[in-house]
A and B are shown apart, each in its own frame.
Chain A
Amino acid sequence: MLKTLKASVAVAGLVAGGHAFAAEHESLSGDLVIFSDMSNPAPRAVMEGLVAEFGEMHPDLNIELTVIDREAYKTQIRNFLTANAPDVANWYAGNRMAPYVDAGLFMDVSDIWEGEMSENLASTKSAMTMDDKQWGVPYTYYQWGVYYRADLYDEYGLEEPQDWETLKSNCQTLLDNGIKCFTIGTKFLWTAGGWFDYLNMRTNGYDYHMQLTAGEIPWTDDGVRQTFANWRELIDMGAFVDNHTAYSWQEALPFMVNGDAAAYLMGNFAVAPLREAGLSDDQLDYYQFPAINPDVELAEDAPTDTFHVPAQASNPEAGKAFLKYVTSPEVQTWINASDALGQLPVNSQASVGDDKFLQQGFEVLSSNAPGGVAQFFDRDAPAEMAKVAMEGFQQFMVQPDQLDNILQRLEQAAGRIYDK
């Protein structure tokens, strides 16, 4: 079933988009080596579909695809970029690509961004830009937000909160009924980074958040303290599930499935496992994280995944052609469809999958995030800073009284990391 579907989609894509590319790049030949981190089943199928279709368009091109486990990829990339570079490699946008750009390991691909493409991909262009040049292309992104149990909210007469007070009063009602407001698993730290992102962007705004992650504002600043004070209100209420330090994000899902917790601040990728665990679309819904400080504009997290051409690629022409192919509207529509990646297309000419979460997420990101769109804490801040800071967030969630120590430690680390 899935196979035929994919094939038909692939053919449709070939018919629609094939002409232009075939005419433009008929001369591609040689080997095209692709290293990919799309190792989960659905992304893997998408990647294989992309390779198959691109191969049909360029029969003289011999494409070799190597799929590497997503976690292992994060440490292997620095080895293969320096020693045995492919022609195309997956990575992430924002500051996450900075070490490789600075070390001259990614190729400047500004030429493929010229003209139409910059318009169609305007929403993610800034995340791909460093030193006024583009260093790769995005292929998918996804919204973050609060995924909640609509049936529990209905049962206790709660509404989707539009402001901080409602969020807290909702939470109090749930707690009075023995239900935790939010599930979270902080074992791998980044989930706490998501909370910090939203609380800080709602308290101090997008620009402040970006300055903080860029090291221009000290961690001991009053704005940061205000963010943590807001966070502390939830912690002191007991809003989060107990013992969250012991769980990964997946291990925190059952609390929501079993109705022990009512909501989860998470990326859209949480929807698939929640559905698989048995929650229907009537039980599961999404709302944008509510405003805290009414004076700042709403801003969102939307991590972008990318393709790059390594500087040492042996067939950069074919690599660039592949990057261009991946971002075309037709390909964007089918790889991000709800039966493929189930995420948002980066090309504004592409259409969004038929799925209520994708539709809502698209709505939020395109018309209700005037403040700006951030990548994610560990992609906006330099890697070392992200690690130290997220560890601090985790500690704060367990030992909120240690805030002064934590902020001091972060400021000390920031002094070293940004000083370079």
Chain B
Amino acid sequence: MTQAALPQSTVRKSWWRRNQIAITPYLFLAPGVLFFAVYVIIPIFQSFGISLQDWDGLGQPTYVGLENYRELGNDPAFYTSLKNNVWWLLLYLLAIPAGLGIALFLNQTVTGIRIYKSLFFFPFVISQVVVGLVFTWFYDPAFGLLNVMLGWFGAGPINVLGDPRYVTFGIILAGLWPQTAYCMILYLTGLNAVNPEQIEAGRLDNAKGWRMLWHIVLPQLKPATFIAFVVTIIGALRSFDLISIMTQGGPFGSSRVLSFYMFEVALSEYGFRMGYGAAIAVVLFLIMLCFIAYFLFSMYREERR
């Protein structure tokens, strides 16, 4: 009897009532999607658009086609930046084994271990600006600690941040300090999740040292390694603040990376070339896209498993 009445009442139910369940997820997604579109997706296409123009950011833009990209191809400063980006990507990855090493070292129960862990994590907590300043003073050729220490061994002062040969490596080293701490904390949490039974089983089978690490511990740390890899790659490509603080891209542009060069030509004190800056941004975006696509692909594969 009641069943007969039901269809009628559903007809009277509002459209909202009927579709509530189906719509709700989209409603919850809407604010995020909206902001993501406005602040990320649309600007990407705008950048493509601006990169085809000659524009000083103030007057009228003129369309120049692929001229900016053609010029990039003949710009030695662009190749210097690109080369430095490659160095950053390669050397920054050292943070992963270094972080793992420290994590393994700290993963023990000794009195006060928490203090040691916090001390090792400290560089990641302080601002990149402070890290940059500390290392700038450390490298200072007149009073820097590095050259004082080199002096003990009779080695002459090295002008790390003022010499085009060393400057990029000097900055990468400064960047590795907090990045290593970050990877360490990722591995420390990962180590907490390592299954003690498997370790025990490995011990019974007489696995020790490297073999234990390689075959039993590391496979269980795979998720942590993946995240460490992702944040390190992204960190290397975003390396802007340290360069800005420590050298401003100098001496004579030899420590620039793409992100800094883009800032310099488009937005800095002397920069009025929005189109050219946008072209550099597009190149940087394409490089990042390779990594992002790879990360998304591996996550997708992981989830399907």
What residues of chain A have their CB less than 8 Å away from a CB belonging to chain B?
Answer: 71, 74-75, 78, 81-82, 99-100, 102-103, 105, 186-189, 242-246, 254, 378, 383-384, 386-387, 391-392, 394-395, 398, 409, 416
Contacts and interface: CB of A to CB of B under 8 A. Distances in A.
B141 interface: yes
B253 interface: yes
A274 B269 CA distance: 27
A391 B252 contact: yes
A395 B142 CA distance: 21
B140 A246 contact: yes
B56 A242 contact: no
Interface stretch (B97-105, B154-162, B220-228): B154-162
A243 B271 contact: no
Contacts of B267: 75
A392 B253 CA distance: 10
Given A75-B268, A246-B162, A409-B76, A394 B251 contact: yes
A383 to B, nearest CB: 4
Contacts of A416: 71
B65 interface: no
A150 to B, nearest CB: 24
A383 B272 contact: yes
B270 A384 contact: yes
A187 B141 CA distance: 13
A242 B141 contact: yes
**7 A-B pairs with least C-beta separation:** A245-B162, A246-B162, A103-B58, A387-B270, A395-B252, A245-B251, A243-B159
Interface in B246-281: 247-248, 250-253, 264, 267-273
Nearest to B74: A412
Contacts of A254: 142
B269 A383 contact: yes
A187 B264 CA distance: 15
Residues of B contacting A: mostly:
loop
A71 B253 CA distance: 20
A245 B159 contact: yes
A71 B245 CA distance: 14
Contacts of B43: none
Given A103-B59, A392-B252, A246 B272 contact: no
B163 interface: yes
A105 B58 contact: yes
Contacts of A242: 141, 157, 159
B57 interface: yes
B248 A187 contact: yes
Which of B139, B141, B269 gathers the greatest number of chain A CB atoms within 10 Å? B269
Nearest to B158: A243
Interface string B226-247: 0000000000000000000001
A275 to B, nearest CB: 22
A260 B121 CA distance: 41
Given A78-B57, A245-B163, A392-B252, A384 B273 contact: yes
Nearest to A392: B252
A384 B141 CA distance: 30
Contacts of A386: 270
Given A245-B250, A246-B141, A383-B270, 20 more contacts: A71-B269, A74-B269, A78-B57, A99-B58, A99-B272, A103-B58, A103-B59, A105-B58, A186-B251, A245-B159, A245-B161, A245-B251, A246-B139, A246-B161, A383-B269, A386-B270, A391-B253, A394-B250, A395-B252, A398-B251
